[in-house]
């Protein structure tokens, strides 16, 4: 599911708030509605396996935590500064994404453009770029981030993530 990127009022009403996720020099923006909780990386159960750096226990289950460089390349270990784990809610369940910093952004203050054609490709996790003051955010969504993370590491057993669907535990 791609995030609408026209910058239209309809798009803003659908996602009135975004959360900016800082990954080194790059900043992602995901709809706030897709952010489940923020956890401390101190609670991580290390289990490095390619992109996945470990697990976070939540609601009686454990959920995979991913870590990526500013260019969204998989990182086998946590760089300095990745102290926050943002737990994102995808259709198949929760997953964590290690970040340097997390902040809230009002969509009304975002000036969006679709990802320029020269930068885009099928399956690109960034659907749009957004200006917030003097910052440029890369707009994505939990579903696209998860899909990208799983494709970035083909050997990941996707069923393992799918099996951890939170619907039973959260009901």
Partner 1 sequence: MSPESNGWLLKLRGGWRAALGLRELVHVLPYSPRLYPIPQTPSHVRHAILWEGRILPLLDLTAFLEASSDRDLQPATDRLSLDHMVAIVAYHAASTPEVSLGGMLLGKVPERIQVADEQACALPGSPAAWHQVAIACFEHPDHGAVPILDLPRLFSGALAAHAWPTYDSDSRPRPERGARTPGLIEGAGWQIDALGQGAALPVGDT
Write out the residues near partner 1 by the rule CB under 8 A.
7, 25-26, 28, 68, 70-72, 111, 113-122, 124-126, 129-131, 134-136, 138, 148
**Which 3 state secondary structure label does DSSP give 149?**
helix
CB of 104 to partner 1, least distance (A): 20
Q: How far is the CB of 170 from partner 1 (least distance, A)?
A: 30
Taking the C-alpha atoms of residue 124 and residue 58, their distance in angstroms, rounded to an integer, is 29
Separation between Cα atoms, residue 15 and residue 169, nearest integer Å: 26
CB of 58 to partner 1, least distance (A): 26
Task: CB nearer to partner 1: give 89 or 140.
Answer: 140
Q: Between residues 50 and 62, which has the closer beta carbon with respect to partner 1?
A: 50
**Whole-angstrom distance, CA of residue 161 vs CA of residue 95:** 8
Tell me the sheet residues that pair with 72.
none
CB 59 within 8 A of CB 155: no
| Closer Cβ to partner 1, 61 or 153, answer by number | 153
């Amino acid at each position: 599911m791609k995030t609408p990127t026209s910058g239209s009022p309809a798009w803003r009403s659908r996602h009135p708030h975004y959360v900016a996720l800082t990954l080194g020099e790059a900043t992602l923006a995901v709809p706030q509605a897709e952010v489940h909780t923020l956890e401390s990386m101190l609670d991580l159960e290390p289990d490095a396996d390619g992109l996945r750096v470990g697990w976070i226990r939540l609601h009686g289950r454990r959920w995979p935590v991913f870590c990526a460089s500013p260019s969204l390349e998989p990182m086998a270990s946590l760089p300095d500064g990745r102290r926050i784990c943002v737990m994102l809610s995808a259709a198949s369940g929760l997953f964590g994404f290690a970040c340097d910093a997390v902040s809230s952004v009002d969509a009304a203050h975002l000036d969006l453009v679709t990802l320029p054609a020269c930068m885009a490709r099928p399956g690109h996790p960034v659907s749009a770029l957004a200006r917030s003051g003097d910052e440029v955010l890369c707009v994505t969504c939990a579903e696209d981030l998860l899909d990208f993370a799983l494709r970035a590491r083909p050997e990941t057993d996707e069923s393992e993530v799918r099996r951890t669907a939170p619907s039973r535990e959260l009901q």
